[in-house]
Amino acid sequence: MKAAVLNAFDAPLDIQCLPDPVLGTGEVVVDVAAAPVASYSVNVFNGSRNYPLELPLIPGPGGIGRVRATGPDATRLRPGDWVFVDSTIRSRDNIASPEQILLGWTYRTPAALPLHRYFHHGSFAEQMLVPTENATPIGHIAPSDAGRWTALGRLLVPFGGLLAGGLQAGETLVVNGGTGGFGGAGVAVALAMGAGRVVVTGRNHGTLEDLARRHGGRVRIVRFSGDEARDRKSICDAADGPIDMVLDFLPREASAAQVRAAALAVKLGGRVILMGGLRGGAGDLGLNYNWLMHNETTVRGVWMYSRDAIPRMVQMVRAGLIDLGQFELAEFGLDSTNEAVAYAAANAGPRQLTVLRPDGYSGGHAKKLS
C-alpha cells in the first residue's frame, strides 16, 4: 500500500510503498477513503507540540473508509461497509482504568506504549488496521461525500464534553474559546442538542460574527478584552440570565484569566467542562476553594468522548440536526500530503476542513467542494 510516513521530526512526510496490514482476531482492516488533516499537524510533525510518539510512523488520527476485512470474531461488520474510524484506542486488559492512545498521533503515558507500538499507523495511508470496536458503521454514503464525513471527528470531541456535562434542552451554555475548530463545532452541536442560548467567546471578531450570523438568534458573542472582570461581565450580559454550563476549548496560548472569566460566571450548581490546551503556568487556574464549594460548581476535565457517542452523532447527522455542509472542504491526494499539511495550517478555523483522499478521489490537488 501507499502511505505518507513521518521518518523524523521537522522533515517532510515521505510517500512510500509499505506492506499491507496483517489482520488478526479482534481487528479490522479498512480501506481509507478520507483522512482529516488537523490545522496543528505541522506542529506535531516538527516536534514543537512534544507529542509522545515513536518514529517512523504513518500519522493520521482516524477517518472514513470501507471495511476490507474483519477478524473471525466480527458479528456485524462486513467487507464494503462504510465506517468511521475512531482514533481513541483503549487497552482491553484494564476496564476500570484503561490506557489510551490516539492512533497515528500520540500515546498518553509510558504504560500505553505497547498499544502505540502495535496499533502504530494512522490514516495517511491506503489501508489501516484498527480494533474492531473502533470501526463504527455510518450507513451508505457516496464516495464523493467521504471527505465531508470526516467532520464527525471534529464534532465528536465537543459532543463528548457536552454529554459529560449533561447539557439539557433550553439551557444556557458558554463555549469559551469558540473560534477554533473544536469550539466552533461545539456551537453547532450544542444547538442541535437544544441549547436555549450559546454564548461564544474569543479574540477573532470576524470569526465570532460569522458564527452568530450562521447560527442565528440563539448565539451571542463576546470578544475578549483581556480584563477578567470586564470579560466576565460581558459574558453575563450576553447570556441575559443564569449560565448553566461552560465548555472550555481555549488554546495553549490562552491565559488562566480567560478560563476564570467564564468559569466563575456559572450559576449555583453550574458545570465547567475543560477540554482546552492550557499548558505550564497558564494551566494553574487559581479557582477559589470557598467559591467552588458555596456555589456547588462541578469542574471536570474531559478528554475525547465515549464510544457510544459515535452512533449518536451519526444519528444526529442522518436526522438533519447537524449539517455537514457547514464546512468548507479542501481535499488533497496522498501524494500531496505535505501540501495538505501546509494548507491546513494556513486555513485554520471553525469552518475549514482539510482532508487527504488516499482513495485518489481528488486527483492530487486541492478541491473546494462547498
Domain ranges of the chain: 2-154+322-368, 166-301
For residues 212 and 123, what is the distance between their CA atoms, to the nearest angstrom?
A: 34
Say whether 308 sits in a helix, a strand or coil.
Answer: coil
Amino acid letter, 288:
N
pLDDT tens-digit readout, 98-109: 999 999 999 989
For residues 256 and 270, what is the distance between their CA atoms, to the nearest angstrom?
A: 19
Band (368; pLDDT cuts 50, 70, 90): very low
For residues 16 and 121, what is the distance between their CA atoms, to the nearest angstrom?
A: 13
Angle formed at CA 32 by CA 31 and CA 33, multiple of 5 degrees: 115
Q: What is the pLDDT of residue 180?
A: 92
Q: Options 3.90.1170.50, 3.90.180.10, 3.40.50.300, 2.40.30.10; which CATH number does 2-154+322-368 get?
A: 3.90.180.10
Band (252; pLDDT cuts 50, 70, 90): confident
Specify which residues 127 forms β-bridges with: 31
Q: What is the pLDDT of residue 362?
A: 58
For residues 362 and 351, what is the distance between their CA atoms, to the nearest angstrom?
A: 20
Query: Percentage of the chain with pLDDT > 90?
Result: 93
Band (367; pLDDT cuts 50, 70, 90): low
Domain 166-301, CATH class in plain words: alpha beta
Band (80; pLDDT cuts 50, 70, 90): very high
| Least confident residue range of 84-88, 90-94, 344-348, 363-367 | 363-367
